Amino acid sequence: MNSVQLLRGQLRPALMGLLMTMACITTVQADEGVALTPVTQVPEGVEVRGKQVAAYTWDDRQGKNLLVLAEQLNEREDDGTQSAFVYAAQYLIDGDRPKRMWMLYDDVQHCEFDAALHFDMAATKVTDLAGDGLTQATVGYSRTCTSDVSPNEFKLIMHVGKSQKYRLRGVDRYGASWWDEEAGALRGMPLPKDCSVAGQQALVSQYKEQGTELPLPGCYTDEKDFAKAPENYLTFMRQHWFALMQKQDAEWSQSQTLPQPQEPTEDDETAP
């Protein structure tokens, strides 16, 4: 191992520790939420499309609620394309006949590259923002059809009752930075702190070589869904979005700074 390799090996653990420390300092604390009870089996009468990946129950003023999350990645078709979907639903468990409150279904069909849709379990949260005993259920997931390592489309969706839905839609932090071996440092556009158009454009002017398309990695497009929503709904969703992106950014950056396996050299001892 030469002196440059040794220096990089020393830098990476130190940088990794610094990144995790910064993440702890800057993480936004969203609403603690309502306590959820994980369940493995859902009652008869609850529809699950695809493979169940999580299910939770909680109580509110309406009674006992159930949230179920499912995903599916299909085998490639004869033409080489691939499809995938996510499914979520909230039920009110009333006696022996569960009543569905709402359903979410999103998919990627006939993707010519690699299709993927996955729930971010850290995004799943139930809140009582008004303090009136009526809860809001929020889920988030990534969606992509790509052949490279790049940020995915990300959606954070809050459901209130049967018909109200509020969304933040943008891109996540997957692939937003990378380790530059020559410089011995992470490269890439930093996580934006302001997702307004003006805030994003200010970053673009500093990192033009990283691209200029909005939204930037870690940001959403707009807040139009919240034009007529209670103010605390948007406050919570902003905080929740940035907390998720900070977590993703720290985890991705850490994965890029971990020491990579060294190629064996002629001087290395080998087993007989």
| Window from 37-51, 132-146, 184-198, 228-242 with minimum mean pLDDT | 184-198
Q: What's residue 96's pLDDT?
A: 79
59 token code pair: 């109580």
Positive or negative, the CA dihedral 29, 30, 33, 38 is: negative
- Which amino acid type is present at position 166? Y
Kindly report the number of other CB atoms within 10 A of residue 45's CB atom.
12
How many angstroms from the chain centroid is the CA of residue 112? Answer: 23
pLDDT at position 261: 54
Q: What is the mean pLDDT of residues 71-84?
A: 95
Note the pLDDT tens digit of each residue in 112-168.
999 999 999 999 999 999 999 999 999 999 999 998 878 899 999 999 999 999 999
Judge if pTM exceeds 0.85: no
Residue 35: CB atoms within 10 A of its CB come to: 9
Q: How far apart are CA 136 and CA 232, in angstroms?
A: 12
> 215: cis peptide before it, omega within 30°?
yes
Burial-class residue 53 by CB neighbours within 10 Å (0-12, 13-18, 19+).
Answer: middle
As to burial, measured by CB atoms within 10 angstroms (0-12 exposed, 13-18 middle, 19+ buried), residue 136 is buried
What Å distances lie between residue 8 and 262, 265, 267, CA to CA? Answer: 12, 18, 20
DSSP code of 86?
A: E
Chain position carrying tokens 């990283």: 210
The pLDDT value given to residue 31: 53
